[in-house]
Structure 1
Amino acid sequence: MERTLRTEVLVIGGGPVGLALATELGTRGIRTLLVERNLRHARQPRAKTTNVRSMEHMRRWGLAGRIRAASPLPPDYPTDIIFKTRLFGREITTIRNAFYGAPGANDLYSEHAQWIPQYTVEGVLRDHAATLPDVTLRFGLVLESLDQSTEGVTAELADTETGERLRVHADYAVGADGSRSTVRGALGIRMQGSHAFAQNINLVIRAPALREVFAEGRSIMYWLVNPESAAIAGPMDTGDTWYFGFPIPKDAPAPTEPELQALMAAAFGRDVSPEILTIDTWAAHSLLADRYRAGRVFLAGDACHLHPPFGGYGMNLGIADGVDLGWKIAARLRGWGGEALLDSYEAERRPVHARVIEEAVANYAVLAPDLLRDGLEEEGARGTEARAEAAALILEHKPREFRTLGVVLGSHYSGSPVVVPDGSAPPAAQVSDYLPSAHPGCLAPHLWLADGRSLYDLFGPGFTLLVTDPAAEAAADPLRRAATRLGIPLTVASPGDARLPALYEAPLALVRPDQYVAWRGSRIPDPEALLRTVCGLATNIQETGVQESRANEFLEERT
């Protein structure tokens, strides 16, 4: 017997991307059905860092505290990367505070990064999504077919255990079903780029003897540089569980368990008799889908972009996809977003994906075997010199992998069809360094306010008009009235912080639901035209008279 369900959005894939999308939609009151083919989530760690931007989304959803509490490492655990010859060998150098995971207030962001395995993040998101009245989670359902018309999407699914069939009618569907996406195949969308250009193996092991390592210096990751077994290892908790990863030649057969034990003994510098809990063989790709949308069906996460997991981008990039797509679909369904808003998903996210792929490939180009130097483990002057040479090479090439704030917070949507240009140039691309900018399309610059609140805590679930200069508060009223007429959710925030005018370089800034700047200026000649543009309801802002150059605005202010 076939059952039929009706929902507004069908999300296919129950990993962190699908769960983030379902959370964003459910928080906005959109009826969402998430289906996942697996009954249980994999226990491979995969991603291990939830970066500062993803943690800011967790803060919006009220989950930042839960994520930190769920981490198997204590809050004071250092997020350092230690480079050694072997785990019980000689230290070469250390990169401190990787991914900005150290606790403490920083004006650049509202939440520091958190070391936490991907499957634990999924657990927190899954438990929270299950509490949202408008979200339904169904596991053990596999997609068999997907059809669409101008009216909606119809999906045929089957229960993997009982064979029961389910037909789902939805307004929109999203494939968040990973690198081998069934949705992508059903849409006839192809991945373009380099397929499987390298192979790697990840293990999760249990080894009580490795506790001794903590006495020499705690770290979330150890790079082990030696000629027999160059590898990466790190703790999954403060107990006995560790991960261990290493590259293997392309198309080489998988090592046997005795060979794996020998590789670990060589990398650790002693035989610790580890118990192998899981083995995960994966290939490094550099791929982008040729399109992210087909009618009412979208792709997100690994379903539309793949890159080597070096730099901590993968899961976090997919979570950001879910946020961008989530608020836009919600706006369209509730009548205050147009088709141009949905089209902007690919226009905004694709350049970010391309940039991250470029970074990840550059990081993958320098692995532990590439850091080898003759004499690295020797005593005396020769060994000291070899380790100093390796340390210099590490500090030249590897910080860009672990100090990524310029990419994580600095990637922007300048040029998007739903962002209003102001005549200024977008900030130059950075990797490690991040200079906040309120250039339209950039992430809204952050501050910690005098009362201890994050500036972002003042932003509403819809658009926010940030008044940086109290003298400009009167200009907010026409925009507020226009938003009411159009049914667009708008919050007006006027913190009265004297640092904001210089930080935003304008007395007014219109901030989107995802905390990116859509427009800034000193006056709003046509509030309704502005709102129609940033919501994808208008296409030619020049004709509306809304666009002004920042130079003219500041000339007026100074006059």
Structure 2
Amino acid sequence: MTVDTDVPPSTASVVIIGAGPVGLSLAVQLRLLDVDTVIIEKDLAVIDGHPKGRSTDLRTVEHYRQWGVIDAVRQQAWTTADPKHQVVITESLLTPPIGSFTMRVGRDEAEVVDLAAETSLSIPQPRLQRILEARAVELGAKVYRGWRAGEFAQDETAATAVLVRDADGASQPISARFVVGADGPSSRVRKAVGIAVNGEGPLGLTSSYVVKSEGHRIRDILNSSPVYDALGMLVVINQEASGIVSTPDDDNWGYGVFTPGADAPTLSEDVAKAKAQALLGGPGGVHFDIISRAEYRLITRIADAYRSGRFFVAGDAAHICPPTGGHNMNVGIDDSVNLAWKLAAVVQGWGSDALLDTYEAERRPVGLSVSAESLDNSLSMRRALERIKDTYADLSASERAEIAWQATFKQWNTKGITLDIRYTSPVIGARDGLDAPPVWHPSRYWNVAYPGHRAPHLVLLDGRPLIDHLGKHFTVIHVAADAQADDQASKLVAAGKDAGVDVTIVTIDSALAGTKYPQRFTLVRPDRFVSWVGEEVDDAASILARATGR
């Protein structure tokens, strides 16, 4: 790994500002596509701080599989005795649960066998970052820590930045074909190129804590009931406090306290500990140590643009939303996968500059919809918890649990958000004559190959998932009655050679394709989204020209 004492090079094809999960994911994907990549990061090392970004959804875990890090990620992930994850609802940590409900976020293999190549998981963000950074470096990305980027500029040939090392003030200019800001909500890249952000809120302040409660280890508490064997999410509701409790380790536990209002003040330590006591329950008098704390305002923010010439923004630099549902990091990683192949196409000459404009056209609507859903989830949960508090004496325990479950249902049932992403842009093929998909719903997935949608998961006859067979660039899936590749599919391979882009043929049995691949041919992009479908390959060159923005 390149250490912070080294000086970054003066040129690169792509420079990424920020070595968080999104910037590192972009670097891994770019290196798999053979793009010269440099990452600039101000922190000297990955910081083990307050827990965040732990939820990893089905699409993201499929990326980890294709990047060759899935085994390392799973070794570091949180596991439970029973994979059929439940939302467990209780009135305090020291009393028996009052209800449990099945989550549908893909943690159980039986749940996802027809949907995805991997189950979802939970892993602390620092552990994930170390795995991704090691893989990026292994693939040839250069990571320079201890440097900040500023004084950005661009012209018709390059984007430039002046890098400054914190340790000694040394500076180094770097020039690149493209610069990507994956540098967080206060992105210097976004501000430097004049991209504004807009959104809702602040509607309140959540103060988040990890505490040690003397005499009450969280692991001992969870071992007190078999219901916790399948714990996916823990919700505590009573008259004095309510909220989601997290379990970052065996000893400590985490919780959040919401204070409404645009100018809600920071909580005092005494108030924070009183809330912890109310959530823990018992006779009181427990000694609490606050291990870590963080605050976030209840807001949504979306960048007005995701591109400004040779500069791009991704992840938190492009969108932020409440953590309810755990979507923001996953959406950012999907940003990186969408952007990487388009940057590679232009750098390597097989895609046009117009292709880069489709990054915003495809990803910004996703940022908007997921932010709206996350905010709605958060507000719905707040309203339900307040309703329970206001009518506590009039409700039975099971009624209180049911209200909390119904109000938070979309947070724990996320197939639409994670798998049913839908793109519309000039590089997506025509949809005339095709059966239109149903109206999008955050908890439902329409599992059909359709232009602009994710290529559906299949397990092929060799026992491996379809994504293991997809090519480096484009793949044409040929549905046939036998295993012989069709001459028409070969037309796309030949057109790809003429255009300088690889096209791989995967032939699948028509019985296996079933209703997921209703057309004879499906062209899949490098990001595993469907570019075009058809019964005949009438003009292979035109099909590929559209898919690559040419």
Please give the TM-score of this superposition, normalised by the length of structure 1. 0.90
> 1:487–1:4: structure 2 CA closer, same or farther, 3 Å change rule?
closer
- State the match for 2:420 in structure 1: 410
Q: Which amino acid aligns with 1:125?
A: L
Aligned to 1:354: 368
**How far apart, in 1, do the equivalents of 2:13 and 2:130 lie?**
24
Partner of 1:177: 183
Shift of 1:366: 2.1
Measure how far apart 1:103 and its partner are.
Answer: 3.5
Q: Of the candidates 237, 240, 246, which is equivalent to residue 225 of structure 1?
A: 237
Partner of 1:373, secondary structure, is: helix
Corresponding position of 2:92? 86
Cα deviation per residue 1:403-441 (whole Å; 9 max; x = unaligned)? Answer: 10012111211x311111131324420221212021111
Q: Which residues of structure 1 form unaligned runs of 5+?
A: 538-559
Query: Separation in 2 of the partners of 1:327 and 1:77?
Result: 34
Q: Which range moves more in the overlay, 525-534 or 264-273?
A: 264-273
With over 3 angstroms needed to count, the CA separation of the structure-2 counterparts of 1:203 and 1:220, relative to structure 1, is: farther
- Residues 1:306 and 1:27: Cα distance change in structure 2 (over 3 Å): same
Contact 1:141 1:157 in 2 (8 A): yes
Farther-moved stretch of structure 1 (262-271 vs 46-55): 262-271
Return the match for 1:476 from 484, 489, 492.
Answer: 489
- Counterpart check, 1:161 vs 2:167: yes
Cα pair distance change 1:154/1:531, threshold 3 Å: same
Which deviates further from its counterpart, 315-324 or 286-295? 286-295
Say whether 1:44 aligns with 2:54: no
Partner of 2:428: 419
Q: 1:428-485 CA deviation, whole Å, 9 max, x = no partner?
A: 2022121202111111111223432111111111100001124672211211111111
Following superposition of structure 1 onto structure 2, how do residues 72-151 of structure 1 map, counting pairs within 5 Å? 72-73=78-79, 76=82, 79-104=85-110, 106-133=113-140, 135-151=141-157
SS of 1:236's equivalent in the other structure is coil
**Change in CA separation of 1:377 and 1:3 when aligned onto 2, cut-off 3 Å:** closer
Which residue number corresponds to residue 272 of structure 2? 260
Partner SS for 1:437: coil
Q: Separation in 1 of the partners of 2:297 and 2:388?
A: 27
Q: 2:390 & 2:7 partners in 1: Cα distance?
A: 69
Residue type of the partner of 1:62? G
Q: Measured at CA, do residues 112 and 448 of structure 1 come closer, stay the same or move farther in structure 2, by a change above 3 Å?
A: same
Number of the residue aligned with 1:457: 468
**d(CA) in 2 for partners of 1:410 and 1:118?**
25
Change (3 A) 1:396 1:262: closer
Shift of 1:119: 1.9
Q: d(CA) in 1 for partners of 2:260 and 2:202?
A: 11
292-301 vs 431-440, which deviates more?
431-440
Residues 523-548 of structure 1, C-alpha deviations (whole Å, 9 max, x = no match): 111111110100000xxxxxxxxxxx
For residues 356-375 of structure 1, the aligned pairs below 5 Å read: 356-367=370-381, 370-371=384-385, 372-373=387-388
Which segment drifts farther, 10-19 or 450-459? 450-459
Residues of 2 paired with 1:13 and 1:3: CA distance? 14
Alignment of 1:273-422 (within 5 A): 273-367=287-381, 370-371=384-385, 372-373=387-388, 385-413=395-423, 415-422=424-431
The CA distance in 2 between the partners of 1:79 and 1:140, in whole Å, is: 40
Whichever residue aligns with residue 230 of structure 1, its letter is S
Q: State the distance in 2 between where 1:469 and 1:206 align.
A: 60
Q: Give yes or no for contact 2:162–2:171 (8 Å, CA) kept in 1.
A: yes
**Any conservation in 2 of the 1:328–1:337 contact (CA below 8 Å)?**
yes
Cα distance in 1, alignment partners of residues 328 and 264 from structure 2: 25
> Whole-Å Cα distance in 2 between the matches of residues 499 and 243 of structure 1?
46
Structure 1 residues 115, 458: closer, same or farther in 2, change over 3 A? same
1:205 aligned to 203, 207, 211, which one? 211
- 1:339-398 deviation line (CA, Å, top 9, x unaligned): 1210100000111111111211110112356334369877xxx6xx43233233233331
1:31-70 paired onto structure 2 within 5 Å: 31-42=36-47, 43-70=49-76
Q: What secondary structure is seen at the aligned counterpart in 2 of 1:388?
A: helix
3-state DSSP of counterpart to 2:206 = strand
Is residue 534 of structure 2 the alignment partner of residue 533 of structure 1?
no
The letter for the 2-side match of 1:342 is: L
Matched with 1:247 is 258
- Report how many aligned residue pairs link the two structures: 529
Distance 1:69 1:94 in 2: 27
Aligned CA distance change for structure 1 residues 4 and 512 (closer, same or farther; 3 Å): closer
> Does the residue aligned with 2:388 lie in a helix, a strand or coil?
coil
Structure 2 distance, partners of 1:257, 1:103, is 42
Letter in 1 for 2:210: V
Aligned to 1:444, which of 455, 471, 477? Answer: 455
CA contact (8 A) 1:324 1:514 kept: yes
More moved, 349-358 vs 213-222: 213-222
Asked if 1 retains the 8 angstrom alpha-carbon contact of 2:84 and 2:108, the reply is yes
RMSD: 2.1
- TM-score, normalising length from structure 2? 0.91
- Residue by residue over 1:289-334, the C-alpha shift from the partner in whole angstroms, topping out at 9 and shown as x without a partner, is 1111110000101111121111111100000001000111011111
The 8 Å contact of residues 226 and 369 in structure 1, kept in 2 or not, is answered as no
8 Å contact 2:381–2:404 — kept in the other structure?
Answer: no
Structure 2: gaps (5+ residues): 1-5
Distance 1:280 1:40 in 2: 20
**Secondary structure in structure 2 of the residue aligned to 1:279:** strand
- 1:221 maps to amino acid: M
8 Å contact from structure 1 (residues 223, 368) kept in 2: no
**Aligned partner of 2:20: which letter?**
G
In the TM superposition, residue 37 of structure 1 has moved relative to its aligned partner by 1.3
- In the alignment, is the contact (CA less than 8 A) between 1:34 and 1:138 conserved in 2? yes
- Confirm or deny that 1:485 pairs with 2:498: yes
CA distance in 1, matches of 2:337, 2:301: 21
* C-alpha contact (below 8 Å) 2:78/2:121 kept by paired residues: no
Aligned partner of 1:197: which letter? Answer: L
The alpha carbon displacement at 1:165 in A equals 0.8
1:449–1:497 contact (8 Å) kept in structure 2: no
8 Å contact from structure 2 (residues 239, 392) kept in 1: no
Q: Equivalent residue for 1:541?
A: none
Cα displacement (A) at 1:78: 5.4
